Structure 1
Amino acid sequence: MSVLVNVIVMLGMLVVVPAGLRLTELRELDRIRQLWPLFAVPGAIALWLPRGGPATALACCYALGTVLLALYAPRRAARGRDLGPAGIALLTALVTPAVAATALVAERSGHELFGFDLGILALTVPHFHFAGFAAALIAGLVCRVSDGPAGRFAALSVPLGTLLVLAGYFIGDWAELVGAVVLTAGMWTVGLLTWRLGRAAGRDRTTRYLLLASAAVLAATMLLALSWAVGEATGLPHPSLTWMAATHGLGNALGFALCSLLAWRRLRTRTPARTEALAGPRTLTEGRTA
């Protein structure tokens, strides 16, 4: 893996996932959130070791944590919870780190899983931390406070687009393009609703700037993703994977995911009486959008 990709993945492992889990406010996730460093730190170390047994073993430690997290999704679904649009986005967020970890274990072991070369596997790891976990989680949060068709569309299209992109890995470039179109539409809707939240009256300056920055960055990074998918499918000129990592990847990690999580954390801590967990009993009415 390149140094830049490693840094982005470490941000996802050590910061984005635990911060996102905290925002769900799901009590059943408390234990795994507390234990998360025991899984994430070995995974982060594995990124910097040469491919081989030690790196693979450490990557497997991280994979174990992601599997434990993913197991919460069918449990909640079986109990009839989280079957609405926001809940589906939450379930997607719980599962996608396991996809990233599977790619990490294969890449660190030097195994071309399902025939994918090691470079693609390496880029799959950050993709499913950010376009998977972070994007689905934030889409669900936005849906909770945007009581309308746009919020529901965002919460459903982001998981669907993520699934279609994953399917496109196996089917071909045109299928991946369809997934990219769906995912981009969902993410742009998330960005629009986030922008409206940032412009709402009564928002403190720091939270406002974080929300507006995440929305603006998302508009640009998803345009890059769409242009890359179109180029792959049609043969038209498009950015290289190295350029995509430095622009789309870094922008989504810092500008969208990190800014969004910080903003939502501030919304929770500064207005506790008016907030709602992703699956909780209260309603975040401040800055409600249509």
Structure 2
Amino acid sequence: MIPLVNLLIAVGMLAVVPLGLALIEDGGRLRPLWYAGALPGALALWLPRGALAVALAALYAAATAVLASRALPRAIAALSSREDAAREAAVATALAAPVVAGVALVAERGGYALFGYDPVILRLTVAHFHFAGFAAALVAGLVARADGGRLGTFAAWSVPAGTLAVLSGYFVSQWAEFAGAVVLTCGMWAVAAVSLRGGVWLRVSGAVLAGAMVPALWYALGEASGLPHPGLAWTAATHGVANALGFGLCGMIGWRMTKEPVL
């Protein structure tokens, strides 16, 4: 499972986030800096745990911190604007999400059980906050702009809320994490519904996304309730691959091909 997760993380670092930055105002200027952190970060995934891997991961974490610093103005804009509040909140979440991946990667490469979580969970957290964090929130913001109605607004609020709730659930309980997964899934289905109205790449992204959230929801419910559910390896091979490639990568390509794509 680890090689597969590494490949998905690398896709997030080297393709999905750079494509997404081009969809954000002034985000293109951040791409060289992002690559300066993402390239060593991707290399760190394949090295043995130790000082070198931690140093390379720290460069990646520094790049995510720069993105996170750009989230504050968008969050302030969300608080001060009625018309664009949902969209700005989604973009702020997208910019802030990779920093969670950065911190998790540094801890995992150093063999440190951050908040008691073992390395496998930390590595999956790195993947999660590229796709269910950055990509999902950014696309939710794009959907809010493109739709302009209740469905787009719902997506732009519920995806960030669900992402934050899932993260909070790590520290509260598995039922709290499941509740966050429900909110996030509803938001992602709203994203999928709007994406299905777009071009070929967006329709592929929306169709894959609609199905990709089912294994994740099943896993979260099983972990909380004790009911039979797929394991991490199966969930990574289904939900993870579909979410990363079918939704994240295809979605970013699709939005890059639309007119006036910058948020």
The TM-score, its normalising length taken from structure 2, stands at 0.95
1:1-290 → structure 2 map (5 Å cutoff): 2-24=2-24, 26-27=25-26, 29-78=27-76, 84-195=85-196, 197-198=197-198, 208-268=199-259, 275-278=260-263
Q: Residue deviations 1:197-227, cap 9 Å, x none?
A: 23xxxxxxxxx32122111111111011111
Q: Residue deviations 1:247-277, cap 9 Å, x none?
A: 1000001100111111111113xxxxxx252
Instruction: Provide the rounded CA distance (Å) in 1 between the counterparts of 2:40 and 2:179.
Output: 35
Instruction: Provide the rounded CA distance (Å) in 1 between the counterparts of 2:141 and 2:91.
Output: 6
| Cα deviation, residue 87, structure 1 | 0.7
Letter aligned with residue 243 of structure 1? W
Letter aligned with residue 167 of structure 1? S
User: CA distance change for structure 1 residues 253 and 237 in 2, over 3 Å: closer, same or farther?
Assistant: same
| Cα deviation, residue 34, structure 1 | 2.4
Q: Which structure 2 residue ranges, 5 or more long, are not aligned?
A: none
Please tell me whether the aligned partners of residues 22 and 262 of structure 2 are also in contact (alpha carbons under 8 angstroms).
no
| Cα deviation, residue 31, structure 1 | 3.2
User: CA distance change for structure 1 residues 81 and 97 in 2, over 3 Å: closer, same or farther?
Assistant: farther
Instruction: Provide the rounded CA distance (Å) in 1 between the counterparts of 2:34 and 2:176.
Output: 34
| Cα deviation, residue 132, structure 1 | 0.2
Please tell me whether the aligned partners of residues 137 and 156 of structure 2 are also in contact (alpha carbons under 8 angstroms).
yes
Instruction: Provide the rounded CA distance (Å) in 1 between the counterparts of 2:159 and 2:92.
Output: 12
Instruction: Provide the rounded CA distance (Å) in 1 between the counterparts of 2:155 and 2:95.
Output: 17
Letter aligned with residue 222 of structure 1? M
Please tell me whether the aligned partners of residues 255 and 261 of structure 2 are also in contact (alpha carbons under 8 angstroms).
no
Letter aligned with residue 67 of structure 2? L
Instruction: Provide the rounded CA distance (Å) in 2 between the counterparts of 1:131 and 1:153.
Output: 16
Q: Which structure 1 residue ranges, 5 or more long, are not aligned?
A: 199-207, 269-274, 279-290
Please tell me whether the aligned partners of residues 81 and 87 of structure 1 are also in contact (alpha carbons under 8 angstroms).
no
Please tell me whether the aligned partners of residues 85 and 143 of structure 1 are also in contact (alpha carbons under 8 angstroms).
yes
Letter aligned with residue 16 of structure 1? V
User: Secondary structure of the equivalent of 1:50?
Assistant: coil
Instruction: Provide the rounded CA distance (Å) in 1 between the counterparts of 2:261 and 2:53.
Output: 40
Report the count of equivalent residues: 260
Letter aligned with residue 87 of structure 2? A
Please tell me whether the aligned partners of residues 71 and 95 of structure 2 are also in contact (alpha carbons under 8 angstroms).
yes
User: CA distance change for structure 1 residues 21 and 113 in 2, over 3 Å: closer, same or farther?
Assistant: same
Please tell me whether the aligned partners of residues 151 and 193 of structure 1 are also in contact (alpha carbons under 8 angstroms).
yes
Letter aligned with residue 233 of structure 2? T
Please tell me whether the aligned partners of residues 74 and 89 of structure 2 are also in contact (alpha carbons under 8 angstroms).
no
User: Secondary structure of the equivalent of 2:257?
Assistant: helix
Instruction: Provide the rounded CA distance (Å) in 2 between the counterparts of 1:232 and 1:77.
Output: 33
Instruction: Provide the rounded CA distance (Å) in 1 between the counterparts of 2:178 and 2:4.
Output: 25
Q: CA RMSD, aligned part only?
A: 1.4
Q: Residue deviations 1:44-98, cap 9 Å, x none?
A: 0000000110000000000000001100111344467776101100000000000
The TM-score, its normalising length taken from structure 1, stands at 0.87
Letter aligned with residue 174 of structure 2? D
Please tell me whether the aligned partners of residues 89 and 136 of structure 1 are also in contact (alpha carbons under 8 angstroms).
yes
